[in-house]
Amino acid sequence: MWKFGLLVACVFLLDQSVARPSVGGQHQDEPVMEYEAIERLKKVFGLPERPPAPKRHFRPPQYMLDLYNTISDPDGIVRFPNPLSANVVRSFPDKDVLHRSFFFFNVSSVSTTENVLDAELHLFKVRPRFTSKFMMRRQHFYEVRVYQIMAPQLAWQVEGNRLVSSRLIGLHGSGWEVFNIKPAVRDWVADKNANFGLLVTIASLTGSSLDQNVIRFAKRKEHHRSKEPILVLFSDDGRSRSASAATYESAPTNGKDYDYYDSASTNQEILNNYYDPSPETQQQWRNERTNTVEKSANRKNRTRVERSAQRHPTNRQFEPCTRRNLYVDFDAIGWSGWIISPKGYNAYHCKGKCPFPLGQSQKPTNHATVQSIMNALRLQEDVGQPCCVPNKLYSINLLYFDDEENVILKQYDDMVAANCGCH
């Protein structure tokens, strides 16, 4: 919850700094305030430094876009947990552009303190250029093996390297093939100097080598970027998980939906009675006039009693504790150049009074209920009203580029106020 409050404070400070330019030597501290606000906001999002906005971004891998859209709503609020409950999912492009069977992914940006939950090599199988009729009749499946290269001198041979994944793929058709290479990536994260890349081999079921033109995987600069190989890494970066983090759900209605037509029907009945009052309605009006006189006298007595007891006015004289809009615009902050999605989100904030007596709609805690009673009785001068704060917080996902053009999907807990109450 403190992160959410910090975010609200940072956005407020930033808005104040932008809204009030320095004129005639006034507000000289505002540039410093803006810098401090951005620095604190970076800490909320776990950014060691403010990523620069490159002049030109390549399109993110379709896998990362699909993953974000599957588990998040348009504002980034988490609807479903990330695969393997990872709070960080990264995609790395293949850095090698010269060799068809060699792949290299730079994972040096991953901290050694992160727990690698899984790592997948995504290769797009393109349609074969040609196949003989004999091969089409006799060979329908081939074995693809992925080796972790253990030393630079072993880059082009199988012997001495570590087999990390293998599977059978069909000769015909095209599409994505996924290989689990978690052991290799764990070694690279633990020792950045141990990354010598991957070797991918293709052989028939009899073990004989195969012409690379028969089964081929897309490589950088040879095919469309949407088909280029990527390494997808699922990890837990060690941030503490909040117990209040929740998946997206619609606002509760407490079993009641507002019906406009019912309300209109009631209003029409009132108008009919006004223009054509029945005897019962006339008697009701007389009673109301009598009650008005009595209420006026009672109001004077009640005012005297309330002043003597220093009680609070009724709830109607206060703005109740409710959820208000608080839109975080990444473009206004200056982060739209590297954040892919969302472009902003509604964090909401809680505002309003929590006077005695607290209703169940305000979802008060027992402590808040007791505090409101003690505040009303004025038995202790320094006891204030309960505070209007979030009862529940949602998590959001952020999809963005880092400074090495890697695409990162990161989950942040306690970023959106789901509802408000008195605490």
Ordered DSSP codes for 33-64: HHHHHHHHHHHHTT-SS-----S--PPPPHHH
- Alpha helices in 276-353, H assignment, sequence order: 279-309, 330-333
Q: For 61-83+318-422, CATH number?
A: 2.10.90.10
CA 350 to CA 421: how far, in whole Å?
A: 8
CA 77 to CA 86: how far, in whole Å?
A: 16
**342 preceded by a cis bond (ω within 30 of 0):** yes
Burial of 344 (0-12, 13-18, 19+ CB in 10 A): middle
CA 216 to CA 166: how far, in whole Å?
A: 16
CA 102 to CA 79: how far, in whole Å?
A: 38
CA 340 to CA 356: how far, in whole Å?
A: 46
According to CATH, the topology of domain 88-128+139-236 is Jelly Rolls (2.60.120)
Core vs surface per residue 304-341: b (16+ CB within 10 A) or e:
eeeeeeebbeebeeeebbebeebebebeebebeebbbb
Residue type, 246: A
**357 preceded by a cis bond (ω within 30 of 0):** yes
How many Cα atoms are found within 13 Å in the side-chain-facing hemisphere of 312? 20
**pTM for this structure?**
0.71
β-bridge partners, 339: 400
Residues in the chain predicted with pLDDT less than 50, given as ranges, are: 1-6, 8-26, 54-55, 134, 244, 246-277, 285, 288-289, 292-293, 295-297, 299-300, 302-316
Sorted by sequence, the CB contacts under 8 Å of residue 162 that are 6+ apart come out as 147, 148, 150, 183, 184
β-bridge partners, 78: 72
Q: What is residue 315's predicted lDDT score, i.e. its pLDDT?
A: 42
CA 153 to CA 150: how far, in whole Å?
A: 9
Cα Rg, the chain, nearest whole Å: 32
Structure tokens at 352: 């309003």
Cα–Cα distances in Å, from 349 out to 157, 252, 390?
60, 18, 8
For the chain, give me the number of helices (H) and strands (E)?
9, 16
In eight-state DSSP terms, residue 228 is: S
Structure tokens at 228: 């280029």
Residue 159 · residue 181 · CB < 8 Å: no
Domain boundaries, the chain: 61-83+318-422, 88-128+139-236
Q: What is residue 327's predicted lDDT score, i.e. its pLDDT?
A: 94
CA 235 to CA 46: how far, in whole Å?
A: 15
Residue type, 149: I
